[in-house]
Every structure is written in C-alpha cells, then in structure tokens.
Amino acid sequence: MNDMSHEGYTTEDGRKIGGVLMEMRNITLKFGGVTAIKDISFDIREGEIRAIIGPNGAGKSSMLNVISGFYVPQEGQVMFRGAPRPKMKPYQVARQGIARTFQNIALFEGMSVLDNIMTGRLTHMKSNMLDQAIWWGKAQKEETENREKVEKIIDFLEIQNIRKTPVGRLPYGLKKRVELARALAAEPKLLLLDEPMAGMNVEEKEDMSRYILDTNDEFGTTIALIEHDMGVVMDLSDRVVVMDYGKKIGDGTPDEVRNNQDVIDAYLGVAHD
Ligand SMILES: Nc1ncnc2c1ncn2[C@@H]1O[C@H](COP(=O)(O)OP(=O)(O)OP(=O)(O)O)[C@@H](O)[C@H]1O
C-alpha cells in the first residue's frame, strides 16, 4: 500500500480508495462486568474492503454491532461522514445507507428467493397505502423500478434459476448468497458482513469471496466484514483490524498483519499477561 494519506490511498492492485467514511474513536463497550471492546480506534475508507478478525470471544460481533448502530458504546464516538452518529433506530441506519448480513442467516424461509430480495428494497419504497389506493400508477411505477433493480442483482449473483424457490429449500451456501442479494437490494453505501464464510466448504468460500470482490468492484460498495478464519480474508481485504480479548492488537495491510508477532501469538493461543 502506498500514499496512505487522509484523502485516501491506492491499493497494490491499483484501486483508488477514498477518504474516511466511518471512524471509531476510542470505543469501549461493556456488558455488566465484561468489557467486550477496550478503547479501540480505526477507520473505514470509501471503497475499501475492511476486515475485522480475531479468535473466539475477541469482540468482533460486538464491534460489528457498534458499527451497525445496534450497540451504543459506553465510551468513545462513532463518526459517520465526519459527524458524530447519534443513537439510531434500525430503519434510520438503513436510510444512512448501511446494510448487513447475519451470521445465522435471517431470511424468510417460506418466501421465494425473489420475494426475500424484494424486502431489501423496503427502505427505498416511497408510495404508501394511500398512494396505492388513490394513484395506483405511482405505486406501480415504483414497483417496476424496484423489480428492475432486484433483477439486476439476481443476474449479478447468478441466482436466476432459483428465483422462485422457497428459501427454506436451498442449501446453506445459496442461502448466504440470497442474504447478500437482499442486502445489495438496499443499494448500501456501506455493507456489513457477519462471518460471510462461516460454515461453508472450500468451493462455497471461493464463490463468496468472488461475489464480495465483484460487489466492491461493480457497485463501488464499501465493505466491512468480521471473520473468525484469518486465511479467507487475507486475499480479500485491503486492510485488516485484529482484535484479541477486546483489544486491537494489529491494524494494517494483510501482509503487515500476517507478520505482526502479537497477531501470530494470538492465533497460536500464546498466553497473555
Ligand atoms: N450480549 C452480551 N451480553 C454479555 N456478554 C456478551 C454479550 N455479547 C458478547 N459478550 C461477551 O463479550 C465478549 C466478546 O464477544 P463477541 O461475541 O463480540 O466476540 P467474537 O469475537 O464475535 O466471538 P466469536 O468469534 O466467538 O463469535 C465475550 O466475552 C462475550 O462473552
């Protein structure tokens, strides 16, 4: 990586990364007597793929929930586009352009793939019941536009052949892809992925990696993901934060992180003071 200026930087593969989109400033999060996150700071820049990794119980899920606005830290400040982010409801987070997937897939099992993905468009729907009653044309136009956006995502993720299939009948790897499709239907600026490769076989992991890279490339989406497995994110990410016991022990390019002794120790389970 070179030119790591405040305005952005250029990746080794020549992609231009922009300025800071989101910044975590001295975040501390506690659950009663347990400190899940201890005074952690880092930023996420426009257009980058940013990973947060760490062993079991390191605090990754807690951090993703702080980024998504689900948890409000006791100390520190979350900055979004240069302004402190207030406590927000999930729909307000969605309107800021943040979408996420979940580790335990959260789809409507009885609904078709297409209908599940359409639910991702909800934050973009403007016409209400009254519009639909008195001016059906407006609602119909919006429905057509939403369908076109969703069809584009279905093509992009190569799931045309299962568009009418109830999600409950799909194998795990495809469900994960449908969840990604639903998140993309919201046209997020920032996409949060909660262990996107968990429970996948090698081939499914390769597919998911490719779709994540293509999403970033095709739509310019900034992506932050948490992952337990260090290996899978190294080829994917521009920069990696490493957490262990709630602390940040590394932050840098995959190469920098791979050669960081604290990170090596944490993954080998070397005892702490
Ligand atoms: N809702 C909660 N209530 C109480 N303690 C919690 C809660 N969520 C997390 N913790 C604790 O905070 C610490 C960090 O947990 P967290 O789930 O964020 O780690 P993680 O890195 O995501 O772990 P894993 O890889 O196992 O999912 C752990 O000690 C956990 O027990």
Separation of CA 11 and ligand 1 centre (Å): 32
pLDDT for 106 equals 81
Confidence of residue 6 (pLDDT cuts 50, 70, 90): low
Separation of CA 65 and ligand 1 centre (Å): 11
Residue 228 Cα: closest atom of ligand 1: 25
DSSP state for residue 14 in the 8-state scheme: S
Separation of CA 58 and ligand 1 centre (Å): 7
Q: Which of 65-69, 118-122, 207-211 has the lowest mean pLDDT?
A: 118-122
**Type of residue found at 40:** I
To which CATH superfamily is domain 1-88+190-195+203-209+222-273 assigned? P-loop containing nucleotide triphosphate hydrolases (3.40.50.300)
- For 156, the token pair is 């992009």
d(CA 19, CA 42): 13
Indicate the angle between helix axes 172-185 and 202-219, nearest 10 degrees.
10
Q: What is the ipTM of this complex?
A: 0.95
From 204, 122, 121, 110, select the one nearest 165 (Cα to Cα): 110
**CATH 3.40.50.300 is right for the domain spanning 98-187:** yes
Identify the residue whose tokens are 């279905």.
Answer: 154
- For 165, the token pair is 């299939």
Encode pLDDT of 145-185 as tens digits: 888 999 999 999 999 999 999 999 999 889 999 999 999 99
Domain boundaries along the sequence of the chain: 1-88+190-195+203-209+222-273, 98-187
- For 209, the token pair is 């990696």
Q: What is the model's pTM? A: 0.89
d(CA 165, CA 169): 7
